[in-house]
Amino acid sequence: MERLQKIIAQAGIASRRKSEELILSGKVELNGEVVTELGTKADPDEDIITVNGRPIRSEKKIYVMLNKPKGVITSASDPEGRKIVSDYLKGIKERVYPVGRLDYDTEGLLLLTNDGEFAHLLTHPKHHVPKTYLATVKGVPHGTALDQLRKGIMLEDGMTHPAEVEYKDVDTDNKEAVIMITIHEGRNRQVRRMFEAINHPVTRLKRVSFGGLLLQNLKRGLYRHLTKEEINNLMQSAQSASVKSKNRK
């Protein structure tokens, strides 16, 4: 038994908040009776649920990995007319949502799904799911500068958790370096702000791993469906990361 608004949202009719508004406005029926109580529960496999007179069907759960290009919005729409991630999901009829975000100038691994519980598990702050990036930065940071990131660094919204950091490439001619960094949080533009804090701003940022799932050779702008094993591994990664976080406290 699940709350009606959750069932409606999972069926792709509307967001959870919009589903609540549909219920409150009397547009939802359960087994032929109008329902206006948000706490009402139902069995999507047994009960007949209609929205605006139309029966809903539970959507097939979709789990997708996209190699998001730079210059694409992680959003369902953009008033400025810029490209959005759904432009790259041709062939997927279900309504899917990003799991977390990658900013406009960041490329790489982005997960999308219509499974709200899965998305919540991977993005909830208490789970500390690891995310790994390749950051090309101006200049070549000294080891002491990277040590600041390894210990945690103070940003305007508080101290970061310790990051895993290592050199991947150094170009002394162009005075830049490629640093691999793994963080366990999901703050807005966090990696960029961390490198700005040590005076080595990021010029290119690519996410290459999320919860142990690797981008590997997926070409830019293309997507693929996750395997059952990958889905289970991601969920286990979130759960184990949560346990490790508790043990560190």
As annotated, the active-site residues are 103
**Alpha helix ranges (H) inside 83-155:** 116-123, 143-151
Task: To the nearest 10°, report the CA torsion of 125, 126, 132, 136.
Answer: 40
End-to-end CA distance of the chain: 35
Name the nearest CA neighbour of 73 among 103, 95, 107, 113: 103
**Alpha helix ranges (H) inside the chain:** 4-10, 16-24, 116-123, 143-151, 190-197, 228-248
| Cα 68 to Cα 85: distance, rounded to the nearest angstrom | 7
Q: List the Cα angle 187/191/195 in 5-degree steps.
A: 135
| Cα 240 to Cα 104: distance, rounded to the nearest angstrom | 30
Which sign, positive or negative, has the C-alpha torsion 12, 72, 222, 228? negative
